[in-house]
Amino acid sequence: MTINYLSDLLEQSQSDFVVYDMGRRVVPMGAEQFTAICAQHQPYPFPTQHQAWFAVVFWPKLATSKVEPYLWFLRMPLDERGLLSLTAQQDFMTQVITLLGQQISGALSEQQQQQLQQSAYLFTPAEVKRAALHAQLSKRWQRPPSIYYEHAQSELLSPSSEGWQQLGLQGIHDVCQRLESDQYLTTSIAAQWLDYPEPLQKALAEALEHCQAPDYLYQQLIPKLADVSNSQRLQTLRALAGVAHKADAALDKELPLVAALTELLPHASADELVILATRLWPLLQGELLLEFMQRLAVSQSSELFAGIVSDLLRVPSTRTQLLMLLQQPELPAPVAAAWQQFIIKQSRS
């Protein structure tokens, strides 16, 4: 049988597999969506640095639960339409088949492992994303959390001045993935959010941005955006990323977070603008998108404007609305000027 796409290789190798997006947020990707992306039937939805980022977890079909799955962290370039490169897929599959044949879930020798790791299409994610993935997989497969779970749970319930320094990052991610079944801990996190030591709050926020936390936690965190320090506001925005990615969030103009962001935008910092663009972008529509662009345009940084606009124009769900906004004849003067400067620079590059 012909193997044209990465999904073909996985399906024809007698392997079961699951795929996670490893780009902006660590989230599961359905098999049908992954297959459609590989076949260029739809663009990759969450590009970062003009590339697609995947975690492909696979194991032999009919294997027992004792078999450890294999894991590829893959990055592949996208074309100007946001479609996954066919050349890159073919190149990587040639490397794999040359080394392993089509039985990709067979045992690898040390030499084969070293050769495969030299592939330009494999990468090592940041520790935070690795922890998020492992937490999601253990929950998905109903496996116990890591040995760091109970310590993290205890410290988040009753934080101490130095206890956070002994926490394992994996434990914090395991806790966040299991908040739906721990109402008491969810309530405690909401109540103590502003009292956590800054490093603990940061680690917790980074874990929350890769999961869908209980609504109660979001409801308690949103009002805190109005009266926290700059550092705490940045971490609170990270923690609220899950709100923006609910199925109907982009359509809900009455969403409390939209109102909170409308109040925040006139004085948002550069770091906060970046978080909005890279974690909360589904909410950047209509009036909120206009407010965002106005704040971005007056940031006095052409590099920041160019970086964020280039990034958002590559996100399929944002591209059309942003272009429609930027092509309006009555565009606010700062936005129009920044956009024209952006176009001139792009034409020269």
Average pLDDT over residues 249-278: 86
Model confidence pTM above 0.85: yes
Question: Is residue 277 very low, low, confident or very high in pLDDT (cuts 50, 70, 90)?
Answer: very high
- The answer, yes or no, to whether residue 130 has pLDDT greater than 90, is yes
Q: Which residue has the higher pLDDT, 115 or 7?
A: 7
Question: Is residue 251 very low, low, confident or very high in pLDDT (cuts 50, 70, 90)?
Answer: low
| Residues 210-239 pLDDT 10s | 999 999 999 999 999 988 888 899 999 999
According to the model, what pLDDT value does residue 107 have? 60
According to the model, what pLDDT value does residue 99 have? 83
According to the model, what pLDDT value does residue 118 have? 86
Joined together, the tokens standing for residue 253 give 């103009």
Question: Is residue 1 very low, low, confident or very high in pLDDT (cuts 50, 70, 90)?
Answer: low
Percent of the chain scoring above 70 in pLDDT:
94
Mean pLDDT, the chain, integer: 90
Phi, psi (rounded to 5 degrees) for 84: -70, 130
| Residues 72-94 pLDDT 10s | 999 999 998 999 999 999 999 99
- The answer, yes or no, to whether residue 63 has pLDDT greater than 80, is no
User: Domain extents for the chain?
Assistant: 6-117, 126-231, 240-349
According to the model, what pLDDT value does residue 230 have? 82
Average pLDDT over residues 266-276: 95
Q: Are 25 and 245 in contact (CB under 8 A)?
A: yes
According to the model, what pLDDT value does residue 250 have? 53
Phi, psi (rounded to 5 degrees) for 16: -90, 150
| Residues 167-191 pLDDT 10s | 999 999 999 999 999 999 999 999 9
